[in-house]
Structure 1
Amino acid sequence: MKTMSIKVLLVSTLSILPLLANAGENVASQETLQARSLVKAFGSDLKHVLKTSMKSGGPIKALEQCNIQAGPIAVKNSSSSGWNIARTSLKVRNESNAPDEWESTTLRQFEKRKAAGEQLKTMEYSETVREGDKLVYRYMKPIPTAGLCVTCHGSDVSEEITTKVKSLYPNDQATGFKVGDIRGAFTLQKRIN
């Protein structure tokens, strides 16, 4: 009788495991969908500021506005969503955007994936990690270098722009990019327990 109960328990447990695994995937999928939506909104807000500033005052005005508005835009998107939303890079312009270990590892993986032929448009990475006694869902999406980006982040940046960058970001590392390079990444995290 005891053997039969153990077998029933074992079979029941084994039949439930795939359901539990799929439940975890559904949570991750919902989190990923939410993260994608937030990246789109955050990126759109940043792009709007950049394009508007470029039209009204050229790259110098765009640099100034990016310096002033990028942080508050991230805070606005974070506070309205419950996520921590930011940008990072292996070559940061703003030191406060320096990557943590998880972000550095993910950025290096993005570079390897790009070198292997994966398209940046669909590239992303997410993972649930333990931080102390809490679980945190983390998500990153690469930011490709577009034509407009090389005006301030490229190899052939004008002296006027270089001077302005140095005045706003004395320890800037974010130059030398070519169109299609990974400029950095959106990085999001949300506590899930």
Structure 2
Amino acid sequence: MNKPLLAGSALALAAAVGTTSMVAMATTQEDADQAQQLIKEFATTLQGELKGALKEGGPVNAVSVCEEKAPAIATNLSEQSGWDVGRTSLKTRNAARNTPDEWERNVLEQFESRKANGESPKGMSYASVVDTDDGKVYRYMQAIPTQQVCLACHGKDLPPDLVEAIDKAYPEDEARGYSVGDIRGAFTLSKPL
């Protein structure tokens, strides 16, 4: 059974489903809080690396930082926390690492629909408990809004040397053409319950 839970609404949902579910909902609220903390750490660390790379050598330099550092940050956080931490998008840059599974694709499409209905992507999230062959898994996603700095490598008009560097690092890149405020993708986290 797939129980949707908008982050921050665990108590209201627990009240709606009854007392027997209150413990489970409180647990998922704790999970949501942990997921948000991991996302904050991931985003802060990656942004620091990217800002340093941009300052040191411009967007072309940032491509290699993103290619090497982003997966390393995700792996490190996963190993330290016991969560599976990553990023995904409907338009991936690295299809081998970031292609969404069916659940993630549905959530990303839901995010796009919510944005189309006027909701800001900033802080937009979704969580649910999913039954798998290995037991229950808590899954959490948070949208990544496109900011001005993102356009240096994900915008519409990229300089030829940058296009060459991106094409070399990511031959199947689809992550271009964004504008400020678009949903660039999402952080995606999961852990067994």
Regarding TM over 0.5, the answer is yes
Deviations 1:4-37 (A, max 9, x none): xxxxxxxxxxxxx822121121011000000000
Aligned to 2:38: 38
Distance (Å, rounded) in 2 between the aligned partners of 1:187 and 1:115: 21
Distance (Å, rounded) in 2 between the aligned partners of 1:97 and 1:18: 37
Task: Provide the secondary structure at the position in 2 that maps to 1:117.
Answer: coil
Deviations 1:116-149 (A, max 9, x none): 1112123100000011141100000000100011
**Structure 1, unaligned runs of 5 or more:** 1-16
- Report the CA distance between 1:57 and its aligned residue: 1.0
Higher radius of gyration, 1 or 2: 1
Question: 2:123·2:143 contact (CA, 8 Å) conserved in 1?
Answer: no
Distance (Å, rounded) in 2 between the aligned partners of 1:155 and 1:43: 23
Distance (Å, rounded) in 1 between the aligned partners of 2:172 and 2:142: 24
Within a 5 Å distance, the mapping from 1:11-30 to structure 2 comes to 18-30=18-30
Question: 2:111·2:143 contact (CA, 8 Å) conserved in 1?
Answer: yes
Residue range with higher mean Cα deviation, 121-130 or 180-189: 121-130
Distance (Å, rounded) in 2 between the aligned partners of 1:122 and 1:59: 26
Aligned to 1:14: none
Asked if residue 186 in structure 1 is aligned to residue 187 in structure 2, the reply is yes
Instruction: Indicate the RMSD between aligned Cα atoms, in angstroms.
Output: 1.0
Aligned to 2:13: none
Task: Provide the secondary structure at the position in 1 that maps to 2:149.
Answer: coil
Distance (Å, rounded) in 2 between the aligned partners of 1:41 and 1:90: 23
Distance (Å, rounded) in 2 between the aligned partners of 1:49 and 1:143: 17
Distance (Å, rounded) in 1 between the aligned partners of 2:35 and 2:99: 20
Distance (Å, rounded) in 2 between the aligned partners of 1:61 and 1:18: 54
Deviations 1:49-73 (A, max 9, x none): 1001111111111111111111111
Asked if residue 146 in structure 1 is aligned to residue 147 in structure 2, the reply is yes
Letter in 1 for 2:56: S
Letter in 2 for 1:115: A
Asked if residue 168 in structure 1 is aligned to residue 142 in structure 2, the reply is no
**Structure 2, unaligned runs of 5 or more:** 1-16
Equivalent residues, number: 176
Distance (Å, rounded) in 1 between the aligned partners of 2:109 and 2:57: 35
- Tell me which stretches of 4 or more aligned residues in structure 1 moved more than 2 Å: none
User: Please, what TM-score do these two structures have when normalized by structure 2?
Assistant: 0.89
Asked if residue 135 in structure 1 is aligned to residue 144 in structure 2, the reply is no
Letter in 2 for 1:151: A
Residue range with higher mean Cα deviation, 60-69 or 18-27: 18-27
User: Please, what TM-score do these two structures have when normalized by structure 1?
Assistant: 0.89
